[in-house]
Structures are given as structure tokens and as C-alpha cells.
């Protein structure tokens, strides 16, 4: 890994009690790290990625419409290229996410075939187990967990997304629009990101670390782990939720800049409640209208999903 700002840990070693001080500093100061030995193989990632992108590339318009949910607050099934806008959610612009995606969760899923369902259900289950183990390690390492029974917290409502970022057209090159996806933090406890690298070597994913944007290149046999916005809520603000974005390549790097990103969001249940005032104290932009000070994760995530859908035209 060229940039050593973001450290790499082995989950197997962390669970044996190794690197305690270093891991504590990482989760309380950075909120992002690379992880190996977490129970999901490169072959698992490749099979799921190839299965999803095969549908992106060969699915008919009718098949894709059948895989598109009509529920605006639910991430399931297929989402077309530029159908969403993270920039609208974060109020940093109106440009779209230059990607198409497939999403699934615990239930209410849409699968284009039995084989797709078999591959992705197994993949989801393996990532879910790995994310729960990793999140427990993060919360324990924080030294300030106060979210109640941890097993209850981790018995949650995860979402898995496979994003395909195609080569950008000229009008979406960095000279015209610097980002494929706007800066944001995830509404999750933690997020796993497994990437395929751009063929031309361009690094698209970056995170903010100590006020600086740091490249997060694809690392063989590893995932990026990003602490999400729920982590500070259950650790008294000790664990940060780093903002991250997906850059656009410059005009001279458009060719060979396509990539995929498999993203597993370990989210709490929609009934998870929190203090809006505390969330804002921890630097989280909670812009929802609820009576009193207490909101639920369902209140927060539902508003974001509705806002995310790009306006027609």
C-alpha cells in the first residue's frame, strides 16, 4: 500500500487480542482502516461482482424495470446509472452519482434469477457475519461503548450494494465535475468496502483523515472499513465517522477508469433511537423534523433515501 496513513489489521489477530493500543488509536482518531483475515475470500467477492455486473451489462430494460423497487425509502434491487444523488442528500450540489447498483438486505429482496439469489444470499451472509465481528471489535476497542446490549445492537438491518462506476463521459471528467459521488459519511455502524482497481491505476476512493484527503486504493485480500455515523452515537462521540467521496478521473485518465465497489452497511434497526442534540454535538448533520429531541434511525434514513433520488432531468 503506497500510503501508510491508513493502517491494515487482521481481524483474526485483533480477536486474539493483538495490536490493542494501535487499534484503539486507529478507531478513535481515524475511523478508517484496512482489514484482512475477516472470513470472506477474493473468490467470494469476484463471483458476486461478476454476477451483478453481468446483469448490468446484459439485462434488458424490461428486466431492469422489474428489478427496480417502487418504494422510495427502500434500497433493494436495481438502481440505474445516475438515478441517485448523494450530493442532494448532503446539500453540496445537484450532480448525480455516476454509478449503477444492485442492493439487497435481510428481506423484501428482488432477484433476477435463482442463481443470482443463491450467489448473493451466500455472499450477504458471509459479509454480515464478518461485519458483526468487526463492529464488535471496533466498539470494544473504543473504550467508551454505551449503546446497551451489544448483541441487540448488532442484530440489525444491514444493506449490501454492488456499485459499478463506468468510465465517465467527457462532461463528467474531473475538469468539469470533480466527483463521481459527493462527500458523505455513511449511516451505519461500520461499512465494508471491497474494490476492484481501475485498470489505468487511478485511485477513486478517498477519505478525510486529520483534515486531509487520503487515497484508499484497492488492496488485495483486504476491505476498507469505515466507521459510520452510528458509531459516534454509541461511543459518546469517541469514534469518528470520516467523510469520504469518489473522485472523477481527469480527461486524460477517463479510459480504463471503470471500477466496482461492493459496500456492506452494518446498520442498526429502524427502531434504534438517539438524541438529535447529541448527534449534532458530535458533528453529524441530522436535518429531520421530529417532536422532542429523540429520533429513530428509521426517521433519519427514510428522509435521506427520498432526497437521494435524482430529480427527473
State the CB neighbour count (10 A cutoff) for residue 304.
17
Alpha-carbon span 260 to 200, nearest angstrom: 14
Alpha-carbon span 103 to 113, nearest angstrom: 15
Alpha-carbon span 144 to 236, nearest angstrom: 7
- 267 given a catalytic annotation: no
Q: What does the H/E/C string look like for the chain? A: CCCCCCCEEEHHHHHCCCCHHHHHHHHHHCCEEEEECCCCCHHHHHHHHHHHHHHHHHCCHHHHHHCECCCCCCCCEEECCCCECHHHHHCCCCCCCCCEEEEEECCCCCCCCHHHHHHHHHHHHHHHHHHHHHHHHHHHHHCCCCCCCHHHHHCCCCEEEEEEECCCCHHHCCCCCCEEEEEECCCCCEEEEEECCCCCCCCCEEEEECCEEEECCCCCCCEEEEECCHHHHHCCCCCCCCCEEEECCCHHHCCCCCEEEEEEEECCCCCCEEEHHHHHHCCCCCCCCCCCCEEEHHHHHHHHHHHHECCCC
State the CB neighbour count (10 A cutoff) for residue 313.
3
Contact 139, 228 (CB under 8 A): no
Which of 16, 46, 65, 75 is catalytic? The answer is 75
Catalytic positions, written as ranges:
75
Amino acid at each position: 500500500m503506497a500510503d501508510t496513513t491508513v493502517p491494515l489489521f487482521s481481524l483474526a489477530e485483533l480477536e486474539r487480542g493483538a495490536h490493542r493500543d494501535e487499534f484503539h488509536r486507529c478507531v478513535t482518531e481515524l475511523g478508517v482502516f484496512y482489514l484482512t483475515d475477516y472470513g470472506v475470500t477474493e473468490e467470494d467477492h469476484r463471483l458476486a461482482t461478476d454476477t451483478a455486473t453481468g446483469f448490468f451489462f446484459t439485462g434488458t430494460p424490461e428486466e431492469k424495470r422489474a428489478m427496480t423497487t417502487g418504494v422510495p425509502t427502500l434500497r433493494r434491487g436495481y438502481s440505474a446509472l445516475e438515478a441517485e444523488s448523494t450530493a442532494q442528500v448532503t446539500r453540496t450540489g445537484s450532480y448525480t452519482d455516476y454509478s449503477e447498483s444492485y442492493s439487497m438486505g435481510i428481506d423484501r429482496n428482488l432477484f433476477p434469477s435463482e442463481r443470482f439469489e443463491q450467489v448473493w444470499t451466500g455472499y450477504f451472509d458471509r459479509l454480515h457475519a464478518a461485519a458483526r465481528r468487526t463492529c464488535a471489535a471496533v466498539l470494544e476497542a473504543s473504550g467508551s461503548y454505551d449503546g446497551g446490549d451489544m448483541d441487540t445492537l448488532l442484530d440489525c438491518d444491514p444493506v449490501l450494494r454492488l456499485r459499478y462506476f463506468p468510465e465517465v463521459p467527457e462532461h463528467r471528467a474531473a475538469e468539469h465535475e470533480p466527483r463521481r459521488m459527493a462527500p458523505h459519511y455513511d449511516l451505519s455502524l461500520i461499512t465494508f468496502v471491497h474494490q476492484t482497481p481501475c485498470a489505468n491505476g487511478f485511485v477513486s476512493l478517498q477519505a478525510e483523515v486529520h483534515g486531509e484527503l487520503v487515497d484508499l486504493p484497492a488492496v488485495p485480500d483486504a476491505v476498507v472499513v469505515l466507521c459510520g455515523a452510528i458509531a459516534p452515537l454509541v461511543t459518546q462521540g469517541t469514534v469518528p465517522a470520516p467523510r469520504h467521496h469518489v473522485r472523477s478521473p481527469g480527461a486524460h485518465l477517463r479510459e480504463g477508469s471503470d471500477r466496482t465497489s461492493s459496500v456492506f452497511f452494518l446498520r442498526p434497526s429502524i427502531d434504534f433511537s438517539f438524541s438529535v442534540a447529541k448527534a449534532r454535538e458530535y458533528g453529524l448533520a441530522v436535518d429531520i423534523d421530529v417532536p422532542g429531541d429523540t429520533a429513530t434511525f428509521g426517521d433519519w434514513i427514510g428522509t435521506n433515501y427520498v432526497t437521494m433520488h435524482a430529480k427527473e432531468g
